[in-house]
Structure formats: structure tokens, C-alpha cells
A = this chain, B = another copy of it.
Amino acid sequence: MNSPDDLHQRPIVSVDLAIFALAPDGLEVLLAQRGAEPFAGSWALPGGWIHVDEDRDLEAAAQRVLRDKTGVAAPYFEQVGVFGDAARDPRGWSLSVTYMALIAKEAVTLMHGGNATGAAWHPIGSDTATIPLAFDHAAILKAAVTRLRNKVEYTTLPVHLLPEAFTLSELQAVYERLLGRLLDKSAFRKRIAEVDFIEPIAGEMRRASNRPAQLYRLKQARSTVFFDRTI
């Protein structure tokens, strides 16, 4: 039988990230341009190897990659899954452990270096990126987008695409852009109030040439609330 000590039997493992933010035109993903073979010059999900003597666990490795690319420390973070087969990387049987992160675009400072020659935001089409991606990253990104779009339907997850303080109208606009349909203001606010995951910031208002709007913030960082379901 096989053994873990037969090193050539070990697959290659990378940690890759689908980092999402919301731009005026819709959802965007952060991509890195590859500087080395394979797929040199192609765009790919930012990622890296596990540093076995530095990373305590998988999530720490993913957080390290995120920090190196964006300078962001603690956004919403979720494992999407593992993708692995013999053919996705020409260097051999490989795994990609994929996480997705949601951040407010304003919070990000793009970093350069490593074996990527640049990083940039790219729009998400109906499914995945609008440009070809290295490895099987188009399929991986598609899985992450699908997960995100599904969760918009029944969780408070989209709040993580907004900056710390936001109005209810801004929150509703995020849902509407992700869902691709308009929501009723009254019904939306009832639903949000029901699950009780945000709180007004006393005295803080968003001002414009109209009635000022109350600013809100998340109640506890990193908690995702589910709306009610059935059966």
C-alpha cells in the first residue's frame, strides 16, 4: 500500500483565493498575472504554497496569501472547497484548496511581488471572469461565484462587501446588484430587522441633499446570519 513517506506520492497543494469586491458595474474578482511557468503571463486566482514551517493551519495560509496581496487583515472568509486531479497542473497531481473572501474595495491596497507580476480587479460575467484563466481557475472561480450568488438569497453575507458604516439603502442596493432584481424597501427592512445582525451607530448619518440616512454597522464581526428556511 501507499505511504505518506513516499514523497513522490504526495500531490502538490496550493491555497488559492477568490477575493470579491463590488464595483459600480457589478461584482469583481482580484486576479494576479503569473510571472513564471506554467501559464506565465496568464491571469490566475492569487495563491501560494503552504509553508509547512510557518502556517499553523489552512486558514492561516490563506490569510497570509490575502495579506500579501491586498494588505487586508480580517475580511469575511470561507472555504469553497478542494479541487484536485492529475491534469490541472502540468507539474503533476495537484490540489487547490480554495477560499473566498469578501471585502470593501476601498479597504484594499494592491500589492505586487512574489511570482506574480501584477494584480488587478476584473469583472465577473454571468459565471466567471471575462478573460481566460490559468489552470482550472475558471471552473474554480465559477464554483465560488455560484456559492456567493446562492448565499445572497438566504444570508446576510453581502454586508461584507460594504465598508464598516453603511445605510440600509446601500445594503439593499448591494443585494439588488448581486441578485439582479429590485427588492421592496419595506419587505427588505422587515427581513433585515428580523435577523438582528446590524445596529445603528448613534448619531452618525449619511448626509446629502435630502433626508439624512442612519448609518449602521455589523453587530459582531464575522458572523453570518441565515434567514429562515423551510421543511
Q: Distance in Å from the Cβ of A59 to the closest Cβ of chain B?
A: 9
Known: A58-B82, A229-B154, A231-B154. A1 touches B114 (CB 8 A): yes
Residue A56, interface by CB 8 Å? yes
Known: A4-B49, A191-B231, A229-B227. A95 touches B56 (CB 8 A): no
Residue A153, interface by CB 8 Å? yes
Known: A79-B82, A84-B58, A85-B58. A9 touches B230 (CB 8 A): no
Q: Distance in Å from the Cβ of A56 to the closest Cβ of chain B?
A: 6
Residue A10, interface by CB 8 Å? yes
Residue A13, interface by CB 8 Å? yes
Check if A7 sits within 8 Å of B10, measured CB to CB: yes
Q: Across chains A and B, which 9 residue pairs bring their CB atoms closest together, nearest first?
A: A57-B85, A7-B7, A4-B12, A52-B93, A58-B84, A2-B49, A10-B10, A154-B229, A82-B82
Give the number of copies in the complex: 2
Q: A interface, how many residues as a size bin?
A: 35 or more
Residue A212, interface by CB 8 Å? no
17 more contacts with CB within 8 A, not counting A1-B115, A52-B92, A153-B229, are A1-B114, A4-B49, A5-B91, A9-B50, A10-B11, A10-B12, A50-B84, A50-B93, A52-B93, A55-B86, A56-B86, A58-B84, A58-B95, A79-B81, A81-B81, A153-B230, A229-B229
- Pick from A84, A153, A191, A231 the residue with the most CB of B within 10 Å: A231
**Which residues 83-100 of A sit at the B interface, judged by CB distance below 8 A?**
83-86, 91-95, 97
Check if A51 sits within 8 Å of B2, measured CB to CB: yes
- Pick from A12, A94, A152, A191 the residue with the most CB of B within 10 Å: A12
